Amino acid sequence: MKIAIVTGLLLLVLKGYTQVIDSVGHRESTTMRKNEKSDQNGEQTVNNLKDWFVKGHFGGLIRNSFMATINQRDLKDYWANGTGGRLYYHTSEFKGFQMGLGGLFVFNTGSSDLTEADPVVGKGSRWEAQLFDITDPSNKDDMDRLEELFLKYRYKKSWIKLGKMGISTPLVNKQDTRLKPTVLSGVWAEINEWKNVSVSAGWFTKSSPRSTTAWYDLEATIGLYGKGCNPDGTKSGYAGNITTNGLGILGIDYNFNDRLEIQIWDYYIENILNAGFFQTDYHIGQYELGFQYLREDQVNAGGNPDPARTYFPSGHTTNLFSLKAGIKKSKWSTSFNYTQGLNTGRFLFPRELGTARLYTYISRHRVEGLGDFQTFMMKFNYFPLDDSSLNVGVYVGRTNSNDMRDFELNKYGFMSYNQLNIDLNYELKGWLAGLDVRALYVLDTSFDKSIENPDYVFNKTNLSHVNIMATLNF
């Protein structure tokens, strides 16, 4: 059924109904806001049901992504190439109402054996398997998903959407750097009736996380990715053993003026945790400053009264803050960023739902699962072309964590490490307009030579990782 839907959309697209409604993941937030505006179709006259559909628009993308990871010494290496596409149709607006439908398809067009575990560690591919379906790494053929199916109503500058969709917030987001982004099912609204203030709110009960094909109840979503260890060092047993009725999100974005912006977000995963996020950004001329603070508290028993099967353990409270100081010029920008997690508890928020957009965030870098840690990150971007179509990014950082065997504050057993990212993004012009190319190189190293257990090294540190991605937007 899903294949038939995708095929039908493709045939209609080939008839000429095209419009850009998506982009590559590193511009996700800006693109989504542009999409909401483009859906208004304010200049078109819709008089009947036929016009509602005929005057709608199609769009999507075709993407090819190659990944390879080279681990240290005799540990197993992996590579994979995935090809896929995403197709969408949005009706025009009729008396404020609009419908949207979209799907994707993915194929494994070449890879090493992603089901083969390293003989020493007993674990398999980390990133390459995420190009396809992490719940079934052996599947190399058609992996399709109904990704978007919603009814939307707009009133003045505000709107509400019901159904399947993707959203972009500091903690819950699409993570759109794979072939399958994270999407949710529920209700989402944005209110823009007050000057300089935007309010977002929603409730979600289902999700199809990044790198998966099926849709899951929210409680089944949490635990699809790596689960790490309980504070006592035993393996986390929350997957399939926690209960929740859904995820609630409330956000307020207030622009005082052209210089100062404040965001306040609250995330409530019923029966598991509550997370409050605060961010303020200040711009003056070419200089910018930023401050973020995140606090998380357990709700009830964190998902399960059994400590061995709970997601958010008792006695833990997450407290972390992130700082940014930067300079922006016409041809380049740089920033110095710092994140500190306090020793009150581990930072725990389901990886299946998004990436924490802290100032120190870069690709292939997460601090989820850590407490009492520090991350230092220098970011440098150079735009050598006058139209800024080429972005050369160089990011260098250091993360200091507690001992990898101190699971009270180190869920996944990460040792302190250094990371270098070289990230090239090029938006082609002329007859190749719409084609974006990204080349990412990651070098992850640790200076801790005393660790001989490869479990703490494999796919975690002392590795090189390459990702080359070409995306055609239409």
The type of residue at 201 is A
pLDDT over 90 at 76, yes or no: yes
Confidence grade of residue 197 (pLDDT, cut at 50, 70, 90): very high
Rounded CA-CA distance 390/384 in Å is 7
pLDDT at 23 over 80: no
Q: Are strands 417-427 and 463-473 parallel, antiparallel or unpaired?
A: unpaired
For 455, phi then psi, to 5°, come to -60, -30
Lowest mean pLDDT among 136-140, 299-303, 457-461: 136-140
Among the ranges given (89-103, 282-296, 438-452, 458-472), the one the predictor scored with the smallest mean pLDDT: 438-452
Question: Are the C-beta atoms of 370 and 341 separated by less than 8 Å?
Answer: yes
CATH number for the domain whose boundaries are 2-473: 2.40.160.10
- Rounded Cα distance between 95 and 47, Å, is 9
For 150, the token pair is: 């919603």
Residue 142 class from Cβ within 10 Å (0-12 exposed, 13-18 middle, 19+ buried)?
Answer: middle
Predicted TM-score of the model (pTM)? 0.90
Highest mean pLDDT out of 21-35, 127-141, 274-288: 274-288
Residue 177: per-residue pLDDT? 83
User: Which range among 74-78, 209-213, 445-449 shows the weakest confidence by mean pLDDT?
Assistant: 445-449
DSSP state of 459: T
Mean pLDDT of 265-279: 98
Q: Where are the domains of the chain?
A: 2-473
Q: Is the pLDDT assigned to residue 18 strictly greater than 50? A: no
From CA 439, how far away is CA 69, in angstroms rounded?
Answer: 14
- pLDDT score at 44: 66
What's the average model confidence in pLDDT over 145-161? Answer: 96
Q: Which residue has the higher pLDDT, 153 or 30?
A: 153
406 Cβ contact partners less than 8 Å away, ≥ 6 residues apart: none
DSSP codes, 12-62: HHHTT--------GGGHHHHHHHHHHHTT-TTS---SHHHHHHT-EEEEEE
Distances (CA, A) of 324 to 356, 376, 398: 15, 10, 15
Measured distance CA(31)–CA(131) in Å, rounded:
22
pLDDT digits (tens, 9 = 90+) for 118-145: 999 999 999 999 999 999 988 888 789 9
The whole-number pLDDT of residue 233 equals 94
Name, of 39-43, 163-167, 427-431, the range with top average pLDDT.
163-167
401 has pLDDT over 60: yes
Is the pLDDT score of 34 beyond 60?
no
Where is pLDDT greater, at 42 or 206? 206
Q: In a 10 Å sphere around its CB, with 0-12 CB exposed, 13-18 middle and 19+ buried, how is residue 299 labelled?
A: middle
Give 1's pLDDT tier (boundaries 50, 70, 90): very low
What is the distance between the alpha carbons of residues 240 and 219, in angstroms, rounded to a whole number? 7
Sorted by sequence, the CB contacts under 8 Å of residue 420 that are 6+ apart come out as: 394, 395, 396, 442, 443
Q: Which residue bears the tokens 């035993």?
A: 234
Helix H or strand E segment including 53 = helix 49-54
Give the residue from 210, 207, 204 showing the smallest Cα distance to 187: 204
Would you place residue 449 in the very low, low, confident or very high pLDDT band (cuts 50, 70, 90)?
low
Helix (H, G, I), strand (E, B) or coil at 351: helix
Q: pLDDT-derived band of residue 53, with 50, 70 and 90 as boundaries?
A: confident
Query: pLDDT at residue 11 above 50?
Result: no
CB atoms inside a 10 Å sphere around CB 294: 24
